[in-house]
Amino acid sequence: MERVIGLLQRPWVQRGVRAALAAGLAWQVAVLLPPLLSDHAYYAPLGAVIAVHPTIADSARAARRSVLAMLLGFALAYAVYELTRAVPDALTIGLIVALSICVEQWRRVLRDQASWVSFAAVLMITVGAGEPGPYVLRYAGLTLLGAAIGVLVTSVLVPPLQLTAAVQRLATTRSLLAGHPAAIAAALRSGQLPATSEWAACGTELDRSLDRMRSAETVVERARRADPRAHRWQGTAASIREQSRALDRVAVLVDDLTLLVVEFQPHRRGLDRVDEGTGRVLADALDGLAGVVRIPYHATDGEPDERDAAIATAVAAADRLTALLRGSTIGDAEGFFALGAVTVGMHRALQTLEAHVRFPQPA
């Protein structure tokens, strides 16, 4: 049962269910219309599928732009056909297609639905030229009917909830992001840091995950528009937005500080001025940051929880790193400044994650 529920929460499955339902309803409505339209009822499911998108706002825009693009294609084809009756059909079709491609560059209005201009123009000249009025009524009218049903299904019958996908993207990105400082910490303790080129290549998967996370956040923001249930999940949507943007900022900081450690290796620059050694202090600080990244929420408001423990560990490690930097002499300027940049990045990352000690220990 859990697998079925998990499957139904996937965006492509939700869209498939909505599209199937909308197409079936569009067909059933179209066959009830007068023969002029019902004889071509198959155009209605096409419009329904075109209009079913992840969000209500996207569905409405897709329906409007698709029908507009089709009407532009029909009008263009009819006008060119009437003006070139004395021209061979092959040249007429070629001219219509060329002009349609030009019209499709009106991306500001047509966007992703621009390709319907040439599609509709070719259909008009090859199928509907003999009776342009009835053909436009059948094709555009039934497509518009189906699109309206698609928007109705999206907005009323099965309102799309994109929260689950966004939360999953956040969790995946958070796990990958936490793995970066943890991996460098482990490498510091083993004394086997990766080469700069190797470490840069490790960021590819995280970059892809960040892109997917941003895309999911954008979909949630669009889903809030015109959705009748948007007020019910306002808080969750706001939390997704805040977490996504925080992880985005932290990812930049983590990438910088880990790359600095890999490239300049400040722990090998004669900066050891504490008993545990620079490498150990750096490793503790990176592990502490990873721990905070993994736990985004406080479980309780009135007593310490796991996030409080992770924050306390991270802040203490960052403070030790700061103390190490302050007590170091500038024997190696490049290493010293690299360590300083890592220290600043560590504190900025913790601030971005709102890693504040809520219950300080009594002095």
pLDDT digits (tens, 9 = 90+) for 40-91: 999 999 999 999 987 788 888 899 999 999 999 999 998 998 888 888 889 9
What local confidence, expressed as pLDDT, does residue 273 receive? Answer: 47
Q: What is the pLDDT of residues 232-286, one digit of tens each?
A: 667 777 888 899 999 999 999 999 999 988 888 877 765 544 445 788 889 999 9
Cβ–Cβ < 8 Å for 268, 262:
no
Give the per-residue pLDDT at 274. Answer: 41
Asked if residue 144 and residue 22 are part of one domain, the reply reads yes
Whether residue 146 sits in one domain with residue 184: no
User: According to the model, what pLDDT value does residue 207 have?
Assistant: 93
pLDDT digits 0-9 by tens, 114-133: 999 999 999 888 887 778 88
In a domain, 169, yes or no: yes
Q: 197 and 149 in one domain? A: no
Confidence of residue 134 (pLDDT cuts 50, 70, 90): confident
Structure tokens at 265: 């290796």
Same domain, 212 and 347: yes
> What's the rounded Cα separation, in Å, for the pair 340 and 305?
31
pLDDT at position 322: 92
The DSSP letter of residue 193 is P
144 and 168 both lie in a single domain: no
Q: What is the predicted pLDDT for the residue at 193?
A: 87
pLDDT band at residue 159 using 50, 70 and 90 as cut-offs: low
- Going from the C-alpha of 284 to that of each of 13, 181, 186, 277, 305, the distances in angstroms are 43, 10, 10, 11, 20
Instruction: Please determine, for residue 175, whether its predicted confidence score (pLDDT) is greater than 80.
Output: yes
**Residue 323 and residue 244 in one domain:** yes
Select from 268, 217, 224, 260 the least CA-distant residue to 242: 217
Residues 170-179, mean pLDDT to the nearest whole number: 95
Residue 359 belongs to a domain:
no
Q: How far is 251 from 175, CA to CA, in rounded Å?
A: 12
Q: What is the extent of the structural domain holding 295?
A: 164-352
pLDDT at 154 over 90: no
CB contact set of 77 (below 8 Å; sequence gap of 6+): 96, 100, 120, 121, 122, 124, 125, 129
Whether 208 is covered by a domain: the verdict is yes
Q: Are residues 36 and 114 in the same domain?
A: yes
198 and 215 inside one domain: yes
Task: Identify the pLDDT of residue 8.
Answer: 66
pLDDT, residue 57, reads: 80
The pLDDT value given to residue 275: 40
Count of domains in the chain? 2
Q: Is the pLDDT of residue 156 over 60?
A: yes
Last residue of a domain, one of 157, 192, 210: 157
Asked if residue 197 belongs to a domain, the reply is yes
Sign of CA dihedral 188, 194, 195, 200: negative
Question: Do 130 and 206 fall into the same domain?
Answer: no
Measured CA to CA, the distance from residue 281 to residue 267 in angstroms comes to 9
Q: Is residue 284 part of a domain?
A: yes
